[in-house]
Chain A
Amino acid sequence: MTTKTNIQKKDDIVVKFVGDSGDGMQLIGSILADNSAIMGNDIATFPDFPAEIRAPHNTIAGVSGFQIRIGQKKLKTCGDDCDVMLFMNPASLKSNLKWAKKNAILIIDSDAFDNKAIEKAGYQTNPLNNNSLKDYIVIQAPITNMTKQCLSKLEIDNKLAERSKNMFALGMIMYLLNRKVDITYKYFEKKFAKNPLIIKINKIVLNAGFEYASTRKEFETTYEIPPAKLEKGKYRNITGNNATAWGFLAASEKSGRPLYLGSYPITPATEILVELAKHKSLGAKVFQAEDEIAGICSAIGASFTGSLAITTTSGPGLSLKTEAIGLAVMTELPLVIVDVQRGGPSTGLPTKSEQSDLYQALFGRNGECPVIVIAAPSPANCFYFAYEAARLSLEHMTPVILLTDGMLGFGSELFKIPKVVDLPPINPPIAQPNDPEYKPYKRDEKTLVRKWALPGTEGLRHRVGGLEKENITGNVSTDPLNHELMVTLRNKKVELVAERIPEQEIFGEKQGDLLVVSWGGTYGSVSSAVEYAQSIGIKVSHAHFNYIMPLPKNTETVLAGFKKILVCELNAGQFVNYLKMKYPKYNYLQYNKVQALPFTVKELVEKFNQILKEN
């Protein structure tokens, strides 16, 4: 074993594990993430996997990746390009090399590069021998064979031995990044407590990889990412989908309204359903419905009885729920609809992320049918935005659409654990028994919110439904003027929510040549780009919107301070058109990307520069 001659400190480092679908890349990715979180770093992760469960072996279609960024400062994205990459087969190299920085360290399982696999990946010649990797530091290692070798004494079957090769690779990377192996040993002991053989195998292989790395001269320089300087408090790593689920549980506890989820599995939203199904001890009632429509309709039924009712889905499912959202608008019942957006239209790109459901969320219903729309900015913040969606819905007796996306849902970051007592109160307007003043559609004068009279309550029997209501009494009415009044009231009720949400903030100067506007899940990349641009002297400000309908009441003031407004979004221009519709007199430019990929900081900064140079 060589001694580490040189440990270089880094602010942050981006690692990506790439291999075949069955190679266990997601597992070692999340192990490294947990290890780094426990070592005190900030982390951001994103899994990048195909829609197929196991596409044909060694094909591009079957490539599965996991990106992790480890830092000593607050991380807002998991990084554009990678410093270290692991390639477990030729197809992973072929499809992912484009994400490697120049001079990146590439760790490659040379055992997987046989002629057949090379050909299957679409290479004409072996990429390891044709000088195509000259811009990188390439570490070829016979990972598969060394894994089998280190397990030879255990007399386990070859397949099981071979399957552990991901741990060998992880061991190498843990050496390179100066990670503490003990933390991961403890993880094995807990995770595989029921299977001591697996614990043993994983420890042996991980250690072998770690030791092997110490013998390679390419690893004479290793990297250290010192712990992040974080605020005092407790932390954990959390994915956006789990954070969403937990935010709802917190809102349920705080409001005293039992949680009811009616959902149907759909990528990339399923994990919210899966997570909430675990928490029966907190009283969560989770109903896996026969379809998307039954999911939302059962939630509306539960809302009628007084539950915090939720349905979770992705774009195609939101289409199916459309009619029922109208019913919730008409009956003025609280309901949260989560859309974890993916690439569309139709089935589209199920495992990839996009922001293209905004129009659907804002306008996709029959009739004049306003709902509150909010969008979460980052994985951990999904907790607060789920909570906020529940709060607005319960207090304003109206459906709320919460937009997240696949990148947020699957992505993870550090989450500073809050205390429920510190979260804002939630006070739903529940009608009291025998209230002589109660009328189903009588409203609070200020907020226009009607009261929630729960079945079972004495003296409040009433009926609601999808037919137009007479103002105040709630009786069925086809009266023309009453209809117009009710349309106005429903619109106004949602507009008045602007009084209850925070004002729009600007990062940077309040006036200037260029305001960069973004919304929802692109917060990390766009704010990183603006921050970087400002640090190199580019004059640019940033407004990131999380409240979409209604917009914060100072929105126009924010826009008015700038000569040009550049709206960046991962669609063909939906938010920019919404702003144009609301505030037409400003000079809007747009930057759109519809590749089901996030923005990179580099491309955004280039765009800012280009715009500032024009005119």
Chain B
Amino acid sequence: MIQNTIERSNVELTKEDFVSDQMVKWCPGCGNHAILAAIENVFPKIGYRKENFCIVSGIGCSSRFPYYVNTYGFHGIHGRATAIASGVKIANPRLSVWIATGDGDAMAIGGNHFIHIVRRNIDVNIILFNNMIYALTKGQYSPTTPMGHVTKTSPYGTIEHPFNTGELVLGAQGTFFARATDNNIKMMTEIMFEAAKHDGTSVIEILQNCVIYNDKIHNIITSKETKDDYQLHLKNGEPMIFGKNKDKGIRLTGTRLEVVQLGVNNITENDILVHDQYQQDPGIHLMLAKMQPPLFPVALGVIRSAMYPTYDDLIEEQINNAKQNSNIRSVDDLLNSGDDVWEIK
């Protein structure tokens, strides 16, 4: 239904086409390096002309991203990346627009713009680096910092209820939400590709580790010892099975999800929920996005990818219709339009 108007490259591109000449200044061991690697993987694979990529960011460690990829780039101001990118995409829908943002940038100072870009379904891809801390300002709590967490500005523990990114996105009528961990370049690359394919606002939450100010915050999900039990890799059309021995699954019981053990109480694969990322109703997607340890694994992969008209398509459509149907085709027409024009001869 929706025509993709972005021009494709007529030569095959490689990672080298997107490597920037700028020194990457993130801390050694920072999760951002892997996210950068995933972007460099996925851009040539997407196949657009390299001049048609545009990366927009706000402020924070994540927001240095545009300097490190060789595309058109815009490093904005705190919280406003989504607003700037809205203008970029609306003004030029032939660009593939990517936003690099963090938990503070997108959900605290930029919270308003974030929910509204999602609501409008403007066709951009938002990579949200969630390290649950303000890192560039050196360690204050963010809107995703877990309740009770001690940070520089919460020496007695935070007393704020954190946002769950997926819940916020779906609450704002998001059409695409995916999640990955920063130590899985393959998965990040895959879901970035899915996001690029999706028409509308795609939000990719990367659970990213800040080695300096919030080290191991995602440890229960990412560490070798626990990750198999706390990661659910969603695949469209496949049952939601996880665990070291692939013996645990997610079942819908009544109106709730629960973790069940395969083979116990006659539970078989047939009892396990099958993932449907394209389902329009966000109910199950919301429950999946909200799952958290220790009771649940964290859902990774594409949680939701529903098809809705995009803002940028609709505005083009209105303009094309108006151009076809209006008598006003030039400013001279406009100046002389209406009933109250009169002439002195």
* Partner-binding segment picked from A154-162, A166-174, A460-468: A460-468
Over the window 119-145 of chain B, the binary record of Cβ atoms lying under 8 Å from chain A Cβ atoms (1 yes, 0 no) is 000000000000000000000000000
Q: Is the CB–CB distance between B331 and A281 below 8 Å?
A: no
Contact A235 B343, CB 8 Å, known A253-B330, A281-B328, A466-B77: yes
Chain A residue contacts of B75, Cβ below 8 A: 463-467
Q: Is the CB–CB distance between B86 and A298 below 8 Å?
A: yes
Q: Is the CB–CB distance between A294 and B66 below 8 Å?
A: no
Contact A309 B77, CB 8 Å, known A40-B344, A234-B336, A237-B340: no
Q: Chain A nearest CB: distance from B228 CB in Å? A: 40
Q: Is the CB–CB distance between A297 and B335 below 8 Å?
A: no
Does B83 count as interface, using CB distance less than 8 angstroms?
Answer: yes
Q: Is the CB–CB distance between B319 and A297 below 8 Å?
A: no
Residue of A nearest to B312 (CB): A285
Contact A466 B86, CB 8 Å, known A281-B322, A281-B329: no
Chain A residue contacts of B71, Cβ below 8 A: 461
Over the window 42-60 of chain B, the binary record of Cβ atoms lying under 8 Å from chain A Cβ atoms (1 yes, 0 no) is 0000000111101011000
Q: Chain A nearest CB: distance from B65 CB in Å? A: 10
Contact A302 B328, CB 8 Å, known A234-B341, A461-B51: no
Within 8 A of B (CB), among A452-485: 455-467, 475-476
* Partner-binding segment picked from A108-116, A206-214, A413-421, A509-517: A413-421
Contact A38 B340, CB 8 Å, known A294-B112, A455-B51, A456-B92: yes
Q: Chain B nearest CB: distance from A144 CB in Å? A: 30
Over the window 297-332 of chain A, the binary record of Cβ atoms lying under 8 Å from chain B Cβ atoms (1 yes, 0 no) is 111111111110100000000000001101100010
Q: How far is the CA of A241 from the CA of B248 in the complex (A)?
A: 65
Does B251 count as interface, using CB distance less than 8 angstroms?
Answer: no
Does A562 count as interface, using CB distance less than 8 angstroms?
Answer: no
Contact A301 B86, CB 8 Å, known A465-B74, A465-B76, A476-B67: yes
Question: A455: which of B72, B318, B321 is its contact (CB, 8 Å)?
Answer: B72
Question: A232: which of B77, B325, B339, B345 is its contact (CB, 8 Å)?
Answer: B345
Contact A290 B116, CB 8 Å, known A455-B88, A463-B73: yes
Chain A residue contacts of B76, Cβ below 8 A: 297, 300, 327, 465-466
Question: B95: which of A231, A456, A459, A463 is its contact (CB, 8 Å)?
Answer: A456
Q: Chain B nearest CB: distance from A302 CB in Å? A: 4
Does B70 count as interface, using CB distance less than 8 angstroms?
Answer: yes
Over the window 77-110 of chain B, the binary record of Cβ atoms lying under 8 Å from chain A Cβ atoms (1 yes, 0 no) is 1001001111111111011000000000000000
Question: A283: which of B72, B90, B323, B325 is its contact (CB, 8 Å)?
Answer: B323
Does A547 count as interface, using CB distance less than 8 angstroms?
Answer: no
Q: Chain A nearest CB: distance from B1 CB in Å? A: 22
Residue of A nearest to B89 (CB): A301
Does A146 count as interface, using CB distance less than 8 angstroms?
Answer: no
Within 8 A of B (CB), among A238-290: 246, 249-250, 253, 258, 260, 262, 279-283, 285, 287, 289-290
Does B156 count as interface, using CB distance less than 8 angstroms?
Answer: no
Chain B residue contacts of A297, Cβ below 8 A: 76-77, 80, 83-84, 87, 113
Does B332 count as interface, using CB distance less than 8 angstroms?
Answer: yes
Q: Is the CB–CB distance between B91 and A38 below 8 Å?
A: no
Q: Is the CB–CB distance between B323 and A281 below 8 Å?
A: yes
Does B254 count as interface, using CB distance less than 8 angstroms?
Answer: no
Over the window 93-106 of chain A, the binary record of Cβ atoms lying under 8 Å from chain B Cβ atoms (1 yes, 0 no) is 00000000000000
Chain B residue contacts of A230, Cβ below 8 A: 344
Q: Is the CB–CB distance between A456 and B52 below 8 Å?
A: yes
Residue of B nearest to A291 (CB): B112
Residue of B nearest to A228 (CB): B344
Within 8 A of B (CB), among A34-48: 34, 37-38, 40
Chain B residue contacts of A307, Cβ below 8 A: 91
Over the window 215-233 of chain A, the binary record of Cβ atoms lying under 8 Å from chain B Cβ atoms (1 yes, 0 no) is 0000000000000001111
Q: How far is the CA of A190 from the CA of B116 in the complex (A)?
A: 39
Chain A residue contacts of B66, Cβ below 8 A: 463, 465
Does B326 count as interface, using CB distance less than 8 angstroms?
Answer: yes
Q: Is the CB–CB distance between A294 and B332 below 8 Å?
A: no
Chain A residue contacts of B329, Cβ below 8 A: 281-282
Q: Chain A nearest CB: distance from B44 CB in Å? A: 14
Does A187 count as interface, using CB distance less than 8 angstroms?
Answer: yes
Chain B residue contacts of A464, Cβ below 8 A: 73-75
Q: Is the CB–CB distance between B51 and A289 below 8 Å?
A: no
Does B315 count as interface, using CB distance less than 8 angstroms?
Answer: yes
Q: How far is the CA of A301 from the CA of B341 in the complex (A)?
A: 37
Q: Is the CB–CB distance between A304 and B74 below 8 Å?
A: yes
Chain A residue contacts of B336, Cβ below 8 A: 234, 417
Q: Which of B51, B56, B84 is the most central at the interface, judged by chain A CB atoms within 10 Å of its CB?
A: B84
Question: A246: which of B49, B74, B334 is its contact (CB, 8 Å)?
Answer: B334
Question: A253: which of B73, B116, B319, B331 is its contact (CB, 8 Å)?
Answer: B331
Q: Is the CB–CB distance between B340 and A236 below 8 Å?
A: yes
Q: Is the CB–CB distance between B87 and A300 below 8 Å?
A: yes
Residue of B nearest to A305 (CB): B92
Chain B residue contacts of A299, Cβ below 8 A: 87
Q: Chain A nearest CB: distance from B297 CB in Å? A: 35
Q: Is the CB–CB distance between B341 and A458 below 8 Å?
A: no
Q: How far is the CA of A289 from the CA of B85 in the complex (A)?
A: 13
Does B22 count as interface, using CB distance less than 8 angstroms?
Answer: yes
Q: Chain B nearest CB: distance from A307 CB in Å? A: 5
Residue of B nearest to A462 (CB): B72
Q: Chain B nearest CB: distance from A468 CB in Å? A: 12
Q: How far is the CA of A526 from the CA of B54 in the complex (A)?
A: 50
Q: Is the CB–CB distance between A287 and B87 below 8 Å?
A: yes
Contacts A293-B113, A299-B87, A463-B74 supplied; 9 other A-B pairs, CB < 8 Å: A283-B323, A297-B77, A301-B85, A305-B87, A323-B77, A417-B336, A420-B335, A456-B49, A476-B22
Residues of A near any B CB (own CB < 8 A): 34, 37-38, 40, 186-187, 190, 230-237, 246, 249-250, 253, 258, 260, 262, 279-283, 285, 287, 289-291, 293-294, 297-307, 309, 323-324, 326-327, 331, 417-420, 455-467, 475-476
Residues of B near any A CB (own CB < 8 A): 7, 22, 49-52, 54, 56-57, 66-67, 70-77, 80, 83-92, 94-95, 112-113, 116, 315, 318-319, 321-323, 325-326, 328-332, 334-336, 338-345
Question: What 8 A-B pairs are tightest by C-beta distance, nearest first?
Answer: A465-B75, A301-B87, A298-B87, A281-B326, A463-B73, A302-B91, A297-B83, A280-B322
